[in-house]
Amino acid sequence: MTRYVYDFTEGNKDLKDLLGGKGANLAEMTRMGLPVPPGFTVTTDACREYLRTGRMPAELLAEVEQHLRQMQNRMNKTFGDAEDPLLLSVRSGAKFSMPGMMETILDIGLNDASVVGLGRQSNDERFAWDSYRRLVQMFGRTVFDVPAAAFDDELAAVGGVGADLSVAQLKDLVLAYKKVFHSHTGRDFPQAPHEQLFLAVGAVFRSWNAERATLYRRQERIPHDLGTAVNVMAMVFGNRGEDSGTGVAFTRDPATGRRGVYGDYLRNAQGEDVVAGIRNTMSLSELATIDPASHRQLLSIMQRLEQRYRDLCDIEFTIENGKLWMLQTRVGKRTPAAAFVIAAQLVDEGTITLDEALQRVTDEQLAQLMFPSFDTAAAPPPLTTGVPASPGAAAGAIVFDSAAAAAATEPVILVRRETNPDDLPGMIAAQGILTSRGGKTSHAAVVARGMGKTCVCGADELVIDGDTFAVAGRILRAGDVISIDGTSGKVYPGSVPVRPSPVVRYFEGEITAHGDPLLAAVERLMIHADHEARLGVHTNADTGADAARARRFGATGVGLCRTEHMFLGDRRELVERLILAEDDASRAEALAALLPLQRADFEELFAAMDGLPVTVRLIDPPLHEFLPPLEELTARVARAEALGEDPGRDGTLLGAVRRMHEQNPMLGLRGVRLGLVIPGLFAMQVRAIAEAAAARVAAGGDPRPEIMVPLVGAVQELETVRAEAEAVLASVPGTPPIRIGTMIEVPRAALTAGQIAGAAEFFSFGTNDLTQMTWGFSRDDVEGAFFGRYLGLGIFAASPFETIDSEGVGELVRIAVERGRAARPDLTVGVCGEHGGDPASVSFFHDAGLDYVSCSPFRVPIARLEAGRAASQAAGSDSR
Ligand code: PEP
Ligand code: MG
């Protein structure tokens, strides 16, 4: 029989699927003997069942009642008792943390009778009536969608925020809130505690499908069918006077990774007040002076949690009349820099192995660390400095509301007093987020860090008023450009120039890692990744400069040089001459003019990659791509004719373009087909490669060129080209050994890989074309046309042109590897499509047994890291 409810004493941290992250961790803390209020978790199974049927399963009701009875016995209090009521909090908690996305309801169990009991029992009537007011409001909003403004209007009418109100005013407010409740729902505020509880649990279940939660999951790629668990816990109160309060803390600094606890505490406050960032907070060291005993206990608990989770933890706690209670913990979110620094620290501290450290960082984080930041030397004086909440450099026009940010077509900075979950669409759309209130743990900060978005918060000198804000004696308006620095917290007027990231400068060899904790951590993990990796990382580069940079970034070869890029610019005219040549002699002349240019290009490339393989691909695109477009030529010729002039060369070109026009050029005369049709073209390129290599050898270099034939579908194509190439190579004295191989980018090539390997010493998967031809998706047209719809329908989770479609295209890769290696065991196999730099795809290529991936220079470190991560995956235990 399915069980729907687990007491906190029954679960543990590994049961996140069933109990959600929060429930599993509350259970773990309970097991550890930490001071967690008693409670139980309603499972994600129950949520899925509820969402499927629209009803609470009958067993669930019975189980909840039974667990409630246990809790009442343990606490010697009765739920909703008129004299001394047990009150409950009801909180969502999915497997993956979704900060602020779903619902929480506090003080369940208060009603017209128990509010009196609570006042008497706590000796604090104000507190009791303030709690009741909060319950009616939270319950109305969450369970019955009563608009927040309806309650806010009543609050404004009695003249203030809750903390300032007298008991009489609070009683009036409760009456007013109950009227609001009635007028929006057509029913009275429920007085029965059990009814309150079940309605609240149902509301939390439903909040899984709220728009903002769905959007957040899409953004974070969290599956939609997991459901949330619900945690029901005995209330403890941080708003019971100056010896009470509530706080959040991290066991290390989540922004930089620096050792030492870090947190915010808010005196005489309840629950969400800190996370909402509404009031300004005090630091943990200030807590040490006002409540040293709780502070000491908190530090020792945080240390134990780190040992247990072997990672940075964040916690939420409450102090009620001097007694500390733990309300939540989890492995905490952190910035990319902190992720690297903490992973290396934990290795130093002997807590985790280097293999595990590799699993604690992601390629996405490394990519973010390679972003540029502001050039502060060129920046004007800052307008103000806020709390640096999420790193990065962002500039854009000011917008003051989320809808405007979401609708903007230019880069924008979302400026708010504070954010709440409704701002999510705007936060996603904006380049950066600036708030005037709240600390590093405010909603804006937590969500921005999760999204890797630049955020400065708590810039409390900003006075926001409608569509303007005032700061430092200036008024800025919506549309004015500002720059925000999420690393320093500075806010600048105008658009500040950016400078390269230190991590990139380190990879470039401009600075060393010495003395810099972040660079030292990156260095350490990259060394280990390279050591573990089975996949090599090559680069796609067409120039010596790109190849040299990629080599500094750690590439161990060029996996793809697209030689057609050498036919552009002022060389176009030579290509035109080649195309227009009407006889062998003029064609030979055109090719002879191209030869020295190609040779010089190759020499430069071989020099930059001296001692490492350089795979040169013979020309691929249809030649008419090098001629002016048909429409342009037609117009030029028509204009000349209208003026009675001779169109001259344009006339000849137009004839050629018309002759060579193809309906589907991607499936037309390109690649190996071109080489077989245009006499001498491939031979010229092969000669240029051979002569460049011979020249490098003569100059004392160690060139390692390889020749790669594109778009092969049948072994006969390759055999013909190969025979021609071998003859040319043999005719150039001093040529070093040069391997000849092919791209696998036509499905037929993958299927006949066994035959093709007979004529190829290496394969390189052209997964761009292979994806295009396997799906039948035109790679130049489909992304903007209908991929949005396909992604929405879940036909694929990511564009197959970005992340390899492992089931379809990937199957062809596996088939080709297997058949190719069966025919030629020493066949080298790589990939040079865009997928070579995509982390998820790199992991697939590792599994498929490739020898290397090849990607653009800036992706090289990311591919290296992923290659290491893929190899060490089995060794490391994944704790997140
Ligand atoms: C490919 O098709 O994946 C490839 C690398 O070649 P290109 O992108 O030049 O067609
Ligand atoms: Mg291709």
Three-state secondary structure call for residue 407: helix
Which of 743, 803, 812, 845 best tests ligand 1's pocket when mutated (most atoms within 8 Å of CB)? 743
pLDDT at 880: 33
Residue pair 299/247 in contact (Cβ under 8 Å)? The answer is no
Check pocket membership of 620 for ligand 1, CB cut-off 6 A: yes
112: how many CB neighbours lie within 10 A of its CB?
12
Q: Which of 17, 11, 200 is nearest to 93 (CA)?
A: 17
Residue among 457, 832, 835, 846 flagged as catalytic: 832
Please give the number of the atom of ligand 1 that sits closest to the Cα of 560: 5
Q: Ligand 1 centroid to 833 CA: how many Å?
A: 5
Q: Is 855 one of the annotated active-site residues of the chain? A: no
Q: Nearest 5 degrees, angle CA 713-CA 867-CA 847?
A: 55
pLDDT over threshold 50, residue 859 = yes
In angstroms, the CA 608 to CA 704 distance is: 11
pLDDT band at residue 340 under the 50/70/90 scheme: very high
Q: Which of 115-129, 567-581, 741-755, 797-811 has the highest mean pLDDT?
A: 741-755
pLDDT at 877: 39
Please give the number of the atom of ligand 1 that sits closest to the Cα of 764: 5
Check pocket membership of 564 for ligand 1, CB cut-off 6 A: no
Check pocket membership of 671 for ligand 1, CB cut-off 6 A: no
- Residue-wise pLDDT for 575-615, tens only, equals 888 888 889 999 999 999 999 999 999 999 999 999 999 99
Please give the number of the atom of ligand 1 that sits closest to the Cα of 766: 3
**Angle between the 767-775 and 809-823 helix axes, to the nearest 10 degrees?**
120
Buried b (16+ CB within 10 A) or exposed e, 832-861: bbbbbbbbebbbbbbebebbbbbbbbbbbb
Residue pair 7/70 in contact (Cβ under 8 Å)? The answer is yes
Q: Is 832 one of the annotated active-site residues of the chain? A: yes
Check residue 763 and report its DSSP letter: E
Which phi and psi angles does 468 have, rounded to 5°?
A: -140, 160
Residue type, 686: V
Buried b (16+ CB within 10 A) or exposed e, 342-374: bbbbbbeeeebbbbbbbbbbbbebbbbbbbebb
| CA nearest ligand 1 atom 9, residue | 562
Mean pLDDT of 4-20: 96
pLDDT over threshold 80, residue 450 = no
Check pocket membership of 769 for ligand 1, CB cut-off 6 A: yes
**CB-count burial class (<10 Å; 0-12, 13-18, 19+) for 187:** exposed
In angstroms, the CA 448 to CA 457 distance is: 10
In angstroms, the CA 412 to CA 247 distance is: 32
pLDDT over threshold 70, residue 330 = yes
Q: Which of 206-215, 626-635, 786-795, 844-853 has the highest mean pLDDT?
A: 844-853
Check pocket membership of 154 for ligand 1, CB cut-off 6 A: no
In angstroms, the CA 220 to CA 97 distance is: 10
Check pocket membership of 767 for ligand 1, CB cut-off 6 A: yes
Which has the minimum average pLDDT: 14-18, 161-165, 523-527? 161-165
Please give the number of the atom of ligand 1 that sits closest to the Cα of 772: 2
- Residue-wise pLDDT for 53-79, tens only, equals 999 999 999 999 999 999 999 889 999
**CB-count burial class (<10 Å; 0-12, 13-18, 19+) for 283:** middle
pLDDT at 876: 42
pLDDT over threshold 90, residue 235 = yes
Residue with more model confidence, 278 or 82: 82
Q: Ligand 1 centroid to 687 CA: how many Å?
A: 23
In angstroms, the CA 495 to CA 395 distance is: 6
pLDDT at 368: 84
pLDDT over threshold 70, residue 784 = no
Please give the number of the atom of ligand 1 that sits closest to the Cα of 768: 3
Residue among 67, 443, 624, 846 flagged as catalytic: 443
H or E, element range at 785 = helix 782-785
Q: Ligand 2 centroid to 18 CA: how many Å?
A: 46
Q: Ligand 1 centroid to 771 CA: how many Å?
A: 10
Mean pLDDT of 512-531: 97
Residue type, 808: G
In angstroms, the CA 547 to CA 618 distance is: 18
pLDDT over threshold 60, residue 879 = no
Check pocket membership of 673 for ligand 1, CB cut-off 6 A: no
157: how many CB neighbours lie within 10 A of its CB?
11
pLDDT at 878: 40
Please give the number of the atom of ligand 1 that sits closest to the Cα of 833: 3
Q: Ligand 1 centroid to 363 CA: how many Å?
A: 23
Which H, E and C letters describe 223-246, residue by residue?
CCCCCEEEEEEECCCCCCCCCCEE
Q: Ligand 2 centroid to 666 CA: how many Å?
A: 9
pLDDT at 312: 96
Smallest-distance ligand from the CA of 712: 2
Check pocket membership of 833 for ligand 1, CB cut-off 6 A: yes
pTM score, two decimals? 0.81
Please give the number of the atom of ligand 1 that sits closest to the Cα of 834: 3
Residue with more model confidence, 421 or 284: 284
pLDDT band at residue 789 under the 50/70/90 scheme: confident
Which of 617, 771, 832 best tests ligand 1's pocket when mutated (most atoms within 8 Å of CB)? 832
| DSSP one-letter string for 160-194 | S-GGG--HHHHHHHHHHHHHHHHHHHSSPPP--HH
Check pocket membership of 805 for ligand 1, CB cut-off 6 A: no
Mean pLDDT of 257-273: 85
Which of 769, 772, 852, 854 best tests ligand 1's pocket when mutated (most atoms within 8 Å of CB)? 769
Q: Which of 538, 567, 550, 561 is nearest to 608 (CA)?
A: 550
pLDDT over threshold 80, residue 449 = no
In angstroms, the CA 259 to CA 341 distance is: 10
Cα torsion through 390, 392, 396, 398, rounded to 10: 20
pLDDT at 277: 55
723: how many CB neighbours lie within 10 A of its CB?
10
The CA-atom distances, in angstroms, between 684 and each of 211, 599, 779 are 60, 10, 30
pLDDT over threshold 80, residue 447 = no
pLDDT at 273: 63
Check pocket membership of 213 for ligand 1, CB cut-off 6 A: no
pLDDT at 706: 98
- Residue-wise pLDDT for 610-631, tens only, equals 999 999 999 998 888 888 888 8
Tokens of 749: 């090539």
Three-state secondary structure call for residue 5: strand
Smallest-distance ligand from the CA of 561: 1
**CB-count burial class (<10 Å; 0-12, 13-18, 19+) for 660:** middle
Check pocket membership of 30 for ligand 1, CB cut-off 6 A: no
pLDDT band at residue 356 under the 50/70/90 scheme: very high
